[in-house]
Chains A and B, each alone.
Chain A
């Protein structure tokens, strides 16, 4: 499920905004909805508002009575489209007969089925890392008592028959949302702890009662068989997250140690040397990576729209270069909406996937287009994938200056002058003089400050 067109009239910053969210002509996916959308723009241009508009199109709980006129086209599957209209805060659906031969009623039925059967959307707010309460790591209890408590809770809590259709990490009941994300990991941990207690008990009894070696071997064999039958979901999660976590010197902890209920409930991490890092000591970057990537891996995202506000938060540039690809690889069939201020993130997008919002002279927001004439890939004059970081800042993020001008311009003036003086000495064959050597040393000193590569042909 993907949004392929959005029209907003008179809502917050938007007087009238129309976004074509399909691949342009000449693209191998021409006409299909974009796989990922990157929202950039000055603060206040409405990036987060756009994410919230998407939420309101997906779930009526998010509708705002101030939404007078919003229209969107949603691609349920290629060639099957649905029109969603919000008028005065109320959502309605309509569908034209599709190219796939489906009638309006069939399309609406398909839409309802998708909503019931699949994860519908996942929303990560910008402040996500602050929303999860700290774990009570100091609460240590007897493992057996813990299991007893868990067992009682499981027996008295009504079994949820309805799956969670959407995951909003800004909601008040954030722990419940995480419980749903991590339910298979939690279930495994409880099962693993129960089993290992039983296994240890059997083994201890076997050794204490002097059983023959074959009997002990049998118990060990059955342990191996149990592990094969019950694969540890943490192992798979670790495979996905560890390459990125290694940059922070960390690993996902895959063994279950059992000192408190809290140990069962959330993901645990450890240093590369194997020391556990308590949740309270996680860096904000670590939290950002784990809290954002874990749901993408754990949940079925095949029909989901995933909205992430400021995914670059607290991430060092080298991790930012990889985070978009990480996300999209974990949820290859989903449509992603990223709102960002990061030029590094923007470099991961095709130019037609970028929605740059700007204020016009009257303060109204409009989309800056990167093409002229027909919307065809050949007519795009900006493509962040080919640009250096500094050029992305200058050309796409409209930074008017190349750096700290007060210092950089002074250095440029100095080097230009020294270069001119050296050129003159060269013409006069005077480079080897004391003056020439002094100027060259001075030139190299300033050139080094400017990070010039002096071996370049033209320098």
Chain B
């Protein structure tokens, strides 16, 4: 979290019961998360906003200043605040560890789905390269083929669905973003740095250029 946000820190420590209808700090938290996530959706790695709109210069005394202005003209983000584990909403409603900024479509499709921390993006043990694989043709993530434990496979698949990794729009966007880059790589051409969908890109790159792995 960027420094100089004492009020927000206090709110998070107190973490009163989350009330979705009280949006007083909603944008402050959302934009802070986007800063931590470098403007990406925490689950799908879709690019949501540039630093210009989420960077520390937008904050004063822990508040997102544009949101706090009288004009009420704030940046609009196609992002929503997601409680990773919905069941914690009442007891730890403002727990920072449970918050992620995600694509609005991902949040609305996830709703109250039960979760397993196996694919929680900030979990210390989380290693997508061991748990997931990517099918370039279909544009979908799936449970890594080396995993033999069927229950684990089912848990991973349930979480892939819950986190919206294979949502139609995400899939289309990811495929159309990565495909030209992968085609250039196949031809041995240079590519511009990737700024979203890193995990899928790295998986494909490892397949195309195994010597780099």
Q: Give chain A's interface residues, CB within 8 Å of chain B.
A: 399-402, 405-406, 409-410, 412-417, 419-421, 424, 458
Assess the A421–B166 pair: CB atoms within 8 A: no
Whether B140 pairs with A409 at a CB distance below 8 angstroms is: yes
- In the complex the two chains form, is A416's CB within 8 Å of B167's CB? no
Is there contact, CB below 8 Å, between B160 and A413? yes
Are A458 and B137 neighbours in the complex by a CB distance under 8 Å? yes
Contact at A400–B157, with CB atoms within 8 Å?
A: no
A-B contact pairs, 14 of them (CB 8 A): A401-B169, A405-B167, A406-B161, A409-B166, A410-B157, A412-B135, A412-B140, A413-B140, A413-B142, A413-B157, A416-B133, A416-B142, A419-B135, A420-B133
Chain A minimum-CB-distance residue to B154: A410
Given known A417-B133, A419-B135, contact A412–B145 (CB-CB < 8 A): no
- Interfacial chain B residues near A416, Cβ < 8 Å: 133, 135, 138, 140, 142
Contact (Cβ within 8 A) B167 A417 = no
Least CB distance from A337 to B in Å reads 32
Docked pose: A409 CA to B160 CA in angstroms: 9
CB distance from B159 to the nearest CB of A (A): 11
16 further contact pairs, Cβ within 8 A, besides A409-B166, A413-B157: A400-B169, A405-B167, A405-B168, A412-B135, A412-B166, A413-B141, A414-B142, A416-B133, A416-B135, A416-B138, A417-B144, A419-B135, A420-B133, A420-B145, A424-B145, A458-B137
Interface readout for B55-78 with A: 1 if CB under 8 Å, 0 if not? 000000000000000000000000
Which among A399, A412, A424 is the interface contact of B138 at CB below 8 angstroms?
Answer: A412
Q: Which residues of A contact B141 (CB under 8 A)?
A: 413
B138, A402: Cβ atoms under 8 Å?
Answer: no
Q: B160 — which chain A residues lie within 8 A by C-beta?
A: 409, 413
Size class of the B contact interface (CB-based, 8 Å): 10 to 19
Ranked nearest first, the 8 interchain pairs of A and B with the lowest CB-CB distance are A401-B168, A416-B135, A413-B142, A420-B145, A416-B142, A417-B142, A409-B166, A421-B145
Which of B143, B144, B160, B168 is packed against the most chain A CB atoms within 10 Å? Answer: B168
Residue B153, interface by CB 8 Å: yes
Which residues between 118 and 162 of chain B lie within 8 Å of chain A, taking CB atoms?
133, 135, 137-138, 140-145, 153, 157, 160-161
- CB of A417 within 8 A of CB of B145, answer yes
Closest partner residue, chain B, to A403 (CB atom): B168
Chain B binding surface SS class: mixed
Complex interface: chain B residues within 8 A of A415 (CB): 138
The reply to whether A402 and B145 form a contact with Cβ atoms under 8 Å apart is no
In angstroms, Cα B168 to Cα A402, docked, is 6
Which residue from chain B places its CB closest to the CB of A401 in the assembled complex?
A: B168
Contacts of B167 in A (CB 8 A): 400-401, 405
Chain B residue at minimal CB-CB distance from A422: B145
| A412: chain B residues within 8 A (beta carbon) | 135, 138, 140, 142, 166
Question: In the complex, which residue of chain A has the Cβ closest to the Cβ of B105?
Answer: A400
Contact between B161 and A410 (Cβ–Cβ < 8 Å)? yes
Q: How far is the CA of A419 from the CA of B105 in the complex (A)?
A: 29
Residue of B nearest to A415 (CB): B138
Shortest distance from the beta carbon of A44 to any chain B beta carbon, whole Å: 20
User: In the assembled complex, which residues on chain B have CB atoms less than 8 Å from the CB atom of A409?
Assistant: 140, 160-161, 166
Complex CA–CA separation, A193 to B133 (angstroms):
78
A401 partner residues in chain B, CB cutoff 8 A:
167-169
User: Hey, which chain A residues are within 8 Å of B153, CB to CB?
Assistant: 417
Residues of the B chain whose Cβ atoms lie less than 8 Å from the Cβ of A410: 157, 161
Alpha-carbon gap, A412 to B135, bound state (A): 9
B window 152-187: CB within 8 A of A: 153, 157, 160-161, 166-169
Give the residue name and chain of the B residue nearest to A413 (CB): B142
For B105, B142, B157, B160, the residue with the greatest tally of chain A CB atoms inside 10 Å of its CB is B142
Contacts of B157 in A (CB 8 A): 410, 413-414
Residues of B close to A405: CB separation below 8 A: 166-168
User: Nearest Cβ in chain A — how far from B10, in angstroms?
Assistant: 35
A414 vs B140: C-alpha distance when bound (angstroms): 10
CB neighbours of A424 from chain B (8 A): 145
A417 and B168 contacting across the interface, CB-CB below 8 Å: no
Residues of B within 8 A of A420 (CB): 133, 135, 142, 145
The smallest C-beta distance from B89 to any residue of chain A, in angstroms, reads: 23
Asked if B166 and A417 sit within 8 Å, CB to CB, the answer is: no
Residues of A within 8 A of B140 (CB): 409, 412-413, 416
For the complex, give the distance between the alpha carbons of A315 and B141 in Å: 39
The complex places the Cα of A418 from the Cα of B161 at a distance, in Å, of 18
Residues of A within 8 A of B135 (CB): 412, 416, 419-420
A399 to B153: give the CA distance in the assembly, Å.
29
A404 to B11, CA, bound (A): 40
Contact, CB under 8 Å: A413 / B166 = yes
Bound-state Cα–Cα, A421 to B140, Å: 16
CA A409 – CA B135 in complex, angstroms? 12
In the docked arrangement, what's the CA distance between A323 and B145, Å? 49
For A419, the chain B residues whose CB sits under 8 A away are 135
User: Nearest chain A CB to B155's CB is how many angstroms away?
Assistant: 12
A419's nearest neighbour on chain B, judged by CB, is B135
Q: Which of A410, A414, A416, A421 has the most CB of B within 10 A?
A: A416
**In the docked arrangement, what's the CA distance between A458 and B136, Å?**
13
